Structure 1
Amino acid sequence: MERRFASHPNEVKQFDTDRLRKEFHIPTLFTPDQLELVLTHEDRLIIGGAHPVQGEVKLDTDMKELGVEYFLERREIGIINVGGTGTVTADGEEFTLNHKECLYIGMGTKDVIFKSSDASQPAKFYLNSAPAHKAFPAAKATLEEADSSALGDIKNSNDRVIYRFIHQKGIDSAQLVMGMTLLKEGNMWNTMPAHTHPRRMEAYMYFDLPEDAAVIHLMGQPSETRHIVMRNEQAVISPSWSIHSGVGTSNYTFVWGMAGDNKRYDDMDPVSMKELR
């Protein structure tokens, strides 16, 4: 498991492209038959992916890094499948996840196993794990079962649907909030006008992007914005002091996950377009 430290906004002002990418960009999430994990000290969220192809992949790492005996001893995890159909087995209970379906597994679950249903169309399980103070039961949600809302319009190139899976009015959790945003064809902008939420951090994972496409992810303080070029199935860490928005060369989908002081999806500090620099 790779470790990323938290960065002060005054320090980030001095970062060049390589340093920005080193601190915030996660280029590899899905390696066949492996577990990829990145621990950020921004609210100690773990971001990763499990990509079982020929065999099973177990949720496991060097427990010295977490100070526990097993991964979810003091943590919870949200899982969204962005690949083919697969199964997640949690302490013997098996859940089937189709494309763009979500599973939550609570604190205290000892064994989590990922497996694909068809090696020719393997599953890609995207993971967000946050520290937890209370155990909640495992729960699954499909797109149809998620709390959804349509935002934006084609005039502003941001016609999109937001699906909330793990949140205050959906799947219960200790602190993790997780969902997905789908931009309709011909739309490229997300989360603009921008906002920050100083009480919690966020991570984005962009997917459904053509091989030759890119998303320009915007970050930084409103008066000191920076950008990171993102490709398909890559993630980015967004500190609590940073805006998080982006524009693509085509439409795309992204998974967002948050950890921090509360679970209110709408807890944000809006940023006027006039404030951005």
Structure 2
Amino acid sequence: MKVNYNNNPRDSRTYDTERLRDEYLTETMFKEDDIVSVYSHIDRIVILGVLPKNEDLELDRFINSKDFGVDFFLQRREFGLINLGGKAQIKTKSESYDLDYLDGLYLGMSTENVEFCSLDINNPALLYCISAPAHHKYPSRIIKQSEANYIVLGVQVHSNERIIRQYLHPEVLPTCQLSMGVTCLKEGSVWNTMPPHTHERRMEAYFYFDVKPQQVVFHMMGEPEETRHVVMRNHQMILSPSWSIHSGCGTQNYSFIWGMLGENQTFDDMDFVDMNTIK
């Protein structure tokens, strides 16, 4: 498990490219027949990439529950995932869930014996997962792509026309604090979340996908008056502390999964940045 510690924004101003990438970026989130895990002390988020192909993958075989002081990983945590690959099956102690491409799944606190498998080894599942500390057990359920809250934002003239699908969201299902969804930029659009914002009450993580070969996304981060950029490629994840903007501009349209946790679940609780002040 990769462990990331929280950072003071004043320290982050001094980071060079290598240090910036080391502190916030995870370049490889998927490995065949493995569960890649990142634990950040920023709101104690855990992010996992699961790629079952030749064998089923048991969550607690890859995550040492003792690192979290519990008997099993989800004893005091909730869990969300979105499938970016072929048909997947997720089994628990009491249920089994079948997911197609861009279907989501929520597992409530205290879910035991979580196991991931692909239903077609020639087209394996790619499961991007986020876990957050929880205080209450809410019902587990599948969120089909068609059941996600669907929003269209932006305009072509500003190169930011995009579709947002909210999976883990109060209008879709109850969770303790975890919010999760997908943003897809339309052809000809390259900007996301611009003008930018911060939200001191929540942290956020972006996972970029559908970034085509030889294309990149310039992910913007940092304090509004001290911005930095990180060059990102397909299937890479970046953490965003609450004090940092989180925006991106690609060399072509792309998609990303966003996940948030913190003090509230109000999607539009944002501190917008005046474009005349950003540096």
Give the shorter-chain TM-score range. Answer: over 0.9
Corresponding residue number in structure 2 for 1:40: 40
User: Which one of the candidate residues 228, 236, 239 is aligned to 2:238?
Assistant: 236
- Write out per-residue CA displacement over residues 93-150 of structure 1, whole angstroms, 9 at most, x where no aligned residue: 1111111111000100111111001111000000100000000111111221111110
Divergent runs of 4+, >6 A: none
Judge conservation of contact 1:168–1:265 (CA < 8 Å) in 2: no
Name whichever of 141-150 and 114-123 sits farther off.
141-150
For the pair 1:156 / 2:169, whether they are aligned, the reply is no
Q: CA deviation at 1:220?
A: 0.3
2:157, 2:145 → 1: CA distance?
26
In the TM superposition, what are the counterparts of 1:63-82 in structure 2 within 5 Å? Answer: 63-82=65-84
Question: SS of 1:72's equivalent?
Answer: helix
In the TM superposition, what are the counterparts of 1:149-188 in structure 2 within 5 Å? Answer: 149-188=151-190
Code of the aligned partner of 2:34: Q
2:145, 2:135 → 1: CA distance?
28
Q: CA deviation at 1:92?
A: 3.6
User: Which one of the candidate residues 137, 141, 144 is aligned to 2:143?
Assistant: 141
Question: SS of 1:29's equivalent?
Answer: coil
Question: SS of 2:74's equivalent?
Answer: coil
Corresponding residue number in structure 2 for 1:125: 127
Judge conservation of contact 1:39–1:47 (CA < 8 Å) in 2: yes
User: Which one of the candidate residues 48, 61, 64 is aligned to 1:62?
Assistant: 64
1:48, 1:234 → 2: CA distance?
12
Question: SS of 1:15's equivalent?
Answer: coil
Q: TM (normalized to structure 2)?
A: 0.98
Give the root-mean-square deviation of aligned CA atoms: 0.8
Identity of aligned residues (%): 46
For the pair 1:24 / 2:24, whether they are aligned, the reply is yes
Code of the aligned partner of 2:268: D
Normalized per residue, the structure richer in helix is: 2
Name whichever of 113-122 and 142-151 sits farther off.
142-151
Question: SS of 1:244's equivalent?
Answer: strand
1:174, 1:27 → 2: CA distance?
29
Corresponding residue number in structure 2 for 1:214: 216
Judge conservation of contact 1:90–1:105 (CA < 8 Å) in 2: no
Question: SS of 1:275's equivalent?
Answer: coil
Code of the aligned partner of 1:161: I
1:271, 1:90 → 2: CA distance?
43
Corresponding residue number in structure 1 for 2:201: 199
Q: CA deviation at 1:63?
A: 1.7
Question: SS of 2:245's equivalent?
Answer: coil
Question: SS of 1:22's equivalent?
Answer: helix
1:248, 1:57 → 2: CA distance?
34
Q: CA deviation at 1:64?
A: 2.3
Name whichever of 265-274 and 199-208 sits farther off.
265-274
1:157, 1:59 → 2: CA distance?
40
- Write out per-residue CA displacement over residues 186-206 of structure 1, whole angstroms, 9 at most, x where no aligned residue: 111100010000001000000
Q: TM (normalized to structure 1)?
A: 0.98
Corresponding residue number in structure 2 for 1:223: 225
1:197, 1:111 → 2: CA distance?
35
Code of the aligned partner of 1:39: Y
1:167, 1:190 → 2: CA distance?
20
In the TM superposition, what are the counterparts of 1:254-269 in structure 2 within 5 Å? Answer: 254-269=256-271
Code of the aligned partner of 2:123: Q
1:229, 1:101 → 2: CA distance?
28
2:213, 2:139 → 1: CA distance?
38
Q: CA deviation at 1:24?
A: 0.2
